[in-house]
């Protein structure tokens, strides 16, 4: 197989991958919007499986601490979280309220139910896909050490 042919395959696969991910993002937004929740708030809610310091959320969402402050304000206004003081008194933990937990569960269930992975693929196909995606995602611990990428941002 020529270099050009391999390249064409790679391009096709890359396009599919990006298209699928964009579609997944749009589907997520479509689930979450009728609940009156902007996408970035919904993502934060899903991450708060367990109460987490704001700093940690910033790391996981790959954004600035100051932005987390504004997310937290918005989530608090909607009574989805409360700020609870951490042991280290500089730290505040974001903790889901009962309303927040209910909403998180609802979002997680709905997103999963409607996921293309769930809807379009058979069990066998899911099973075949998993190892391929794992190779593609790469073992996060065996990257070529490019000195950047200490955190995934």
Name beta bridge partners: 53. Answer: 93
Q: Give least dist CB 43 to DNA, A.
A: 9
Q: 88 touches which of a second copy, DNA, none (CB within 5 to 8 A by kind)? A: DNA
| Site residues, DNA (CB under 7 A) | 38-40, 53-55, 58, 62-70, 72-73, 83, 86, 88-93
Taking the complex as a whole, the smallest distance from the CB of residue 2 to a second copy amounts, in Å, to 12
Q: For 22-52, give one letter per residue: b (16+ CB within 10 A) or e.
A: eeeeeebeebbeeeebeeebbbbbeebeebb
| 120 interface partner picked from a second copy, DNA, none, CB below 5 to 8 A per type | a second copy
Q: Looking up tokens 């941002």, which residue turns up?
A: 153
Q: Minimum Å distance from CB 23 to DNA? A: 16
């Amino acid at each position: 197989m020529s270099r050009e042919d391999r390249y064409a395959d790679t391009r096709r696969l890359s396009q599919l991958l990006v298209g699928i991910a964009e579609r997944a993002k749009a589907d997520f937004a479509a689930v979450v919007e009728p609940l009156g929740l902007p996408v970035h708030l919904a993502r934060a809610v899903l991450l708060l499986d367990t109460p987490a310091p704001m700093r940690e959320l910033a790391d996981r969402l790959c954004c600035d601490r100051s932005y987390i402050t504004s997310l937290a304000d918005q989530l608090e206004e909607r009574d989805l979280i409360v700020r609870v003081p951490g042991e280290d008194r500089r730290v505040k933990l974001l903790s889901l309220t009962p309303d927040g937990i209910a909403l998180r569960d609802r979002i997680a269930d709905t997103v999963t139910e409607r996921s293309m992975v769930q809807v379009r693929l058979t069990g066998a196909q899911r099973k075949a896909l998993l190892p391929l995606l794992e190779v593609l995602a790469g073992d996060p611990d065996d990257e070529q050490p490019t000195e950047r990428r200490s955190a995934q941002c």
